[in-house]
Structure formats: C-alpha cells, structure tokens
Structure 1
Amino acid sequence: MPLVTAKRTGLVDQVIAQIRELVASGEWPLGGRIPPETELVSALGVGRNTVREAVRALSHAGLLEVRQGDGTFVRATNEISGAVRKLCGPELRHVLEVRRALEVEGARLAAEARTEEDLRELQEQLAERDEAVQQLDPARVVATDAEFHRRLVAASHNPVLISLYEGIIEAVASSVATTFNPEIPPEQHISHTALLAAVRDGDPRRAADEAGAFLDELLAQRRNQAEGTPDSGQ
C-alpha cells in the first residue's frame, strides 16, 4: 500500500489516518520498525513537524513505540489493543484478568447463541490447537489457542463484546505465549474440551464456569511464580 502525498488541510490527521491504515492492514507488521522520518517526510510530502506530531499522537494511543536511537516500532494494530498494552504493561496478571472478564461472558453467551457453523469452526480450531500442544510447538500453540478463543467470543454474536475482544487479541496471544511451557508433557497442559462441550450442550452456566476455571488456574500459576512456588502445569 503506497503512501499518498497529503493534502494541505488537516495534514496531521491525514498522516495519522494513513499510518493507522498501514498498521491495521499489516503493511507495517506488528513488532516491525516503520520507515525512518526522512522517508516518511518525502513520501507524504509534509514537513518533519507534521510527521513527528502524527507519530507522537499514535505513540500516545499505543499503536507505535518510539525507541530513542533505534527507531519507531508498531506496538499494536488498533487503539483498544494499544490501550490494553499501555495499561497492563508487562504485568501478565492484568491481561489475564481482562481476558477472564471478556471470555467468561463470551462463553456464557456463546452457549446460548452459537450456531452449528460456529460449533464446526470451534471443533476444527480446537483440534488444530490440541495438535499443536501435542507437538509442543510454541508458535503454533499461540496462534491456534488465541484463534480458538477469538472464535468462541465471536460465537456470542454480541458485536460490542466481539469488538472489545478483537481489540485485545494481541494481548491474548502474548499471554498464551507467556504461559505456555513446552517443557511440560502435552497431557498436563490446559484442555478446552470441556469448555467446548458446554457450549455445544447449550449450558451457559457450565460454559462460563469452564472459561473462568482455566483462567483462574493461569492466574494461580502466576501468583505461584511470583511467590517462587513451582507450577503444576501450563
């Protein structure tokens, strides 16, 4: 997606909009470094101050991260995810608590609203996730586990809840990556089979309990780590 020379009205807003689109589309990937200031100035046809103001605004929003002497990097793909990352920072407990709030309600609603197509997709996704766990493949576990939970919340068919969860999906993936331990045997890792069964059975209370239970387990493990107590599993 090429950069387009900005018009002379609302320059900063136009630059912000273009950068946001490049980030959201994946043209500038998460974690990657964006082009240097001189290149942006040339491509956009605006002054350095305009570029700096746009980058500063997006940094405050959490989408970009300016690292002195190293460049500017993509920190999140949308403002909600950026806000979560800024607020939670490196504290995994905060991310898990936010996940619990959204995923428990998502599972409860999914048990009531899921369609047969939702169930088919969830079953396929869980199978991929479980296969990745069996292979102890961290990168694949992160991708498939986060996608399973995204689809589970999507099965709630609540557009506001879905939008909120989509906004933190990067934080979700990061929390999965942090909590997955490839040194633990596959059979000792958290299973989502009972969670999916509760959704399939149309049992909202059991679905909510299952969603809360595994996140409570992760939170307990986090507390144990902070206290120096060995984990019993993922």
Structure 2
Amino acid sequence: MPPLHQARRSLVDLAVEDIGQRLAAGQWPVDSRIPTEPELAALLGISRNTVREAVRVLLYAGLLEVRQGDGTYVRATTSPAEAMRAISRASLREQLEVRALLEEHTARLAAQRASPQDVARIAHLLTVRGEQQQYPDAADFIHRDLDFHLAIAEASSNAALAELYRYFTLTVQDSILRTMHDEALPDPDLASHQAIVDAIANGDGKAAGAAAAAVTRPLLQILDSLLPVSPASPTPPITARD
C-alpha cells in the first residue's frame, strides 16, 4: 500500500485533471463563478480537502482566480504551461507554420498602425541584425533577429498579438536554430527583411504581409521537399471465415 501522501497526491492530480477538462469543455465559461467547495466535492465525489488543494493548483496555473468575498472565478480555460508544452512538442514544420502566420499578420497590422518612432526602431533593429554571416556566434544573430521581429509585433498596437508572439519566442528561437543548422534550409537574407521594413514604412499592409510571407514560406516549401514520404500502410491479409 502506497504512503498516504502519495495516495492523496494522486487524488489531487485526478481532481485537477477533472476540473481542467470541465473548464476546457466550457462547463464554466471564462469570468463565471465555479461551484463552491462543498458543491465541487459532491460533484466530483471527493473530499473538500482534495477540492481545496486542486483549486490551489489551478489558481497557481492561472486558470482560476479568487475574488475576495465573491468566490472563485474562471480566468482561463486552458493552461499557458500546457500550451507551451504542446508547442515545444510540435514538429519543425508546425512551428514554422505558426511563425509564418504570426509574422504575416503582425507585419500587416504594423503597416497600418506603426508610428514614425516604431518604424525608426524597426529599421534600426534590422541594421543591428545585419546578415547571419557576420556573426561568429549563431546565438547572437538569433537574438538580434528576434528583437527585429518582436518590434514589428509590438508596432501592431495589438497587445494580445504582441504577447502571443513574445510567448512563442522561445519556440521560434529553437526553430531558427534548427533551421540554421540544416544547410538545406537557408536563412532569408537582409534584403528580404528590408522589404518588410519598407512596406511598413509605406503603410502598405498587403505588401508587408507578402514580404513577411516571402521570408517564411520558402522555408516551408524546402522543408516539405526534405520530409521523408511515409510508406503506405500494408493491406491486411484476407482470412477465410468458418
């Protein structure tokens, strides 16, 4: 028989999973109040102590929040930590697809909304970035490249979109590292990035999105040509029936 603390931990884990699934399914929408502790205990068939510990875990994860004197409310239906783990497990192509979508959209918005100061900052960061070949340390180049793209996201004047790009930065960095370490996946040159800056400076959202796509989509096309073709599943043998 396992020690008591291990059994208790297991019950809490199950309760966290159960409540998390109900949140994801929309049983309690964002900004709604979840049932009280006794109600949750009855609903889940567990003790109030277990419910209390499970709620603490979900509070820490950012899914729930306590409003003093009013109860516990739903703050989010999915865990940012779980989302990040899912992104980190995604394939290189999947990560580059998301990167392409984010960069195209932020470039379009930046062209429509960027201030002269934003444009000057983006242009300056591209100058600082330069070309990959001038960096002995690849990590330095990656940081400069990300600074440039993040400045575009911030110039979109959409805080949620900019935060999403910032949240995705670590995965993008990993994607860039793997891209640069594969000679068949070249890093787009300075001129292709300058086209993004020019379109933003001209207020041309369509051209900015197209220029951003010109940076990312060729990588996806080259990657597709390198992916191994999965063999067809063998046809199961036909067996005689009695």
Give TM class, smaller chain.
Answer: 0.5 to 0.7
C-alpha contact 2:108 2:206 (8 A) present in aligned 1: yes
| Distance across 2 between alignment mates of 1:205 and 1:81 | 34
- Equivalent residue runs for 1:12-27 within 5 Å: none
Residue 88 of structure 1 deviates from its aligned partner by: 5.1
Aligned to 2:139: 139
Partner Cα distance (1:81, 1:109) in 2: 28
Distance 1:82 1:177, change over 3 A: farther
User: Where in structure 2 are there 5+ consecutive unaligned residues?
Assistant: 1-11, 13-52, 64-78, 230-242
In 1, the alpha carbon distance for the partners of 2:179 and 2:99 equals 13
Aligned to 1:218: 219
Offset of 1:222 from its aligned partner? 1.6
Which string of whole-angstrom CA distances, capped at 9 and with x for unpartnered residues, describes residues 37-76 of structure 1? xxxxxxxxxxxxx8xx96xx87xx9xxxxxxxxxxxxxxx
Tell me: CA distance 1:116–1:167, structure 2 relative to 1, closer, same or farther (3 Å): same
Correspondence for 2:201: 200
User: Which residue of 1 is the match for residue 189 of structure 2?
Assistant: 190
- 1:106 and 1:208 map into 2 onto residues whose CA distance is 8
5 Å matches for 1:58-207?
Answer: 80=80, 83-87=83-87, 89-135=89-135, 137-181=137-181, 189-191=188-190, 192-207=193-208
| Aligned position for 1:15 | none
Amino acid at match of 1:159: A
Q: 1:130 to 1:171 in 2, by over 3 A?
A: same
Deviation at 1:124, TM superposition (A): 1.6
TM-score by length of 2: 0.56
For residues 193 and 116 of structure 1, the distance between their equivalents in structure 2, rounded to whole angstroms, comes to 16
Alignment check: 8 A CA contact 1:81 1:170 kept: no
| Distance change (3 Å), C-alpha of 1:189 and 1:97 | closer
Cross-structure match for 2:210: 209
Q: Which runs of 4+ in 1 moved over 6 A?
A: none
Identity, in percent, stands at: 30
| More displaced 10-residue stretch of structure 1: 124-133 or 102-111 | 124-133
- Asked if the contact 1:110/1:157 (under 8 Å) is kept, the reply is yes
SS, match of residue 130 in structure 2: helix
CA RMSD of aligned residues (A): 3.1
Closer, same or farther: CA 131–211 of 1 in aligned 2, 3 Å: closer
Report if aligned partners of 1:96, 1:175 keep a CA contact under 8 Å in 2: yes
Cα distance change, pair 130–118 in 1 and its aligned pair in 2 (3 A): same
Q: What one-letter code is carried by the residue in structure 2 that aligns with 1:130?
A: G
Q: Would the aligned equivalents of 2:95 and 2:171 in 1 still touch at CA under 8 Å?
A: yes
Larger Rg: 2
Whole-angstrom distance in 1 between the partners of 2:136 and 2:225 = 23
Paired residue secondary structure (1:202): coil
Compute the TM-score of the two structures, normalised by the length of structure 1.
0.57
Over 3 Å counting, the alpha-carbon distance change for 1:97 and 1:111 in structure 2 is: same
**Relative to structure 1, is the Cα distance of residues 85 and 141 closer, same or farther in structure 2, using a 3 angstrom cutoff?**
farther
TM superposition shift of 1:211: 0.9
